[in-house]
Amino acid sequence: MTLGLFDDAPAPYAAPEAIAPGAALLRGFALEVDEALLQAVEAVTAAAPLRHLVTPGGYTMSVAMSNCGELGWVSDRSGYRYDPRDPLSGKPWPPMPTCFSELALKAAAQAGFGNFRPDACLINRYEPGARLSLHQDKDEGQLDAPIVSVSLGLPAVFLFGGLKRSDKPARYRLLHGDVAVWGGPSRLAYHGVAPLTEGEHARLGRQRINLTFRRAR
Ligand code: SIN
Ligand code: FE2
């Protein structure tokens, strides 16, 4: 066997790459379970379809969203909130698949946050051109728990700034299987995603799927 340093195979999982105090990238951390994750995404979004939410300001988001777990993040003209029910169906969100919660627990631990038990998973789908402007995740009751964010499909440029909106964000290219974790002193860091570039992913085609795990209450 050769070491494969020069081929295009995904890099084997490497040690966490610190990007700020309490924030790290775990390159390739989700690759081992990617197919299980994607099948679970398909099952969840069959029951709770991806949809483009409207912001309180009346703007329709370019990213399509759904949720699983006890709580789901939603936005409408009245504001942002966590809701135990899918407003489209009036039914509880689909339960969080075991492969989701296990991966989130392991990734958080790898980044130094033990016993992470997410009760909410936001599923974001980006098509080319879709973006997420800089924001803080601050609608959660539990700011002591980290955020765990899993990238699947097309690559994206992740913007990771500081605690002030005016802090210039650093740019990180996130690939299929990469996981980002931020908590502790970085829990309220501004972050976002640059407009997705056109491309074709072998498994997901023209899309990027992001799973964002939170402890909302
Ligand atoms: C988010 O901030 O909810 C999503 C981040 C991402 O898509 O990488
Ligand atoms: Fe976020």
Question: For residue 157, how far is its CA from the centre of ligand 1 (angstroms)?
Answer: 11
* CATH number of the domain where residue 76 is located: 2.60.120.590
Q: Taking 70 as the threshold, does the pLDDT of residue 33 lie above it?
A: yes
Q: Is 64 part of any domain?
A: yes
Kindly state if the Cβ of 210 falls inside 6 Å of ligand 1: yes
The mean pLDDT of the chain is 95
What pLDDT is attached to residue 142?
Answer: 85
Q: Is 6 part of any domain?
A: no
Question: For residue 111, how far is its CA from the centre of ligand 2 (angstroms)?
Answer: 18
Q: Is 13 part of any domain?
A: no
Residues 6+ apart with CB under 8 A from 62: 52, 126, 129, 130, 131
Question: For residue 192, how far is its CA from the centre of ligand 1 (angstroms)?
Answer: 6
Query: Ligand 1: which of 67, 121, 132, 151 to mutate, judged by most atoms within 8 Å of the beta carbon?
Result: 132
Q: Is 128 part of any domain?
A: yes
Count CA atoms within 13 Å of residue 104 on its CB side.
Answer: 28
Q: Is 9 part of any domain?
A: no
Q: Give, using CA atoms, the residue closest to atom 7 of ligand 1.
A: 210
Total domains in the chain come to 1
Ligand nearest, relative to CA of residue 63: 1
Q: Is 140 part of any domain?
A: yes
Q: Give, using CA atoms, the residue closest to atom 6 of ligand 1.
A: 210
Task: Give the mean model confidence (pLDDT) for residues 92-114.
Answer: 98
pTM of the model: 0.94
Q: Which atom of ligand 1 is nearest to the CA of 156?
A: 8
Kindly state if the Cβ of 191 falls inside 6 Å of ligand 1: yes
Query: Ligand 1: which of 212, 213, 214 to mutate, judged by most atoms within 8 Å of the beta carbon?
Result: 212
What pLDDT is attached to residue 152?
Answer: 99
Q: Is 8 part of any domain?
A: no
Report the C-alpha gap between 161 and 198 in whole angstroms: 25
pLDDT band of 12, cuts 50, 70, 90 = low
- Structural domain of residue 80, as residue ranges? 19-214
Q: Is 12 part of any domain?
A: no
Q: Which of 197-201's residues contact partners 24+ apart within 8 Å by CB, and which partners?
A: 197/128, 197/154, 197/155, 198/128, 199/128, 199/154, 199/155, 200/154, 201/153, 201/154, 201/176
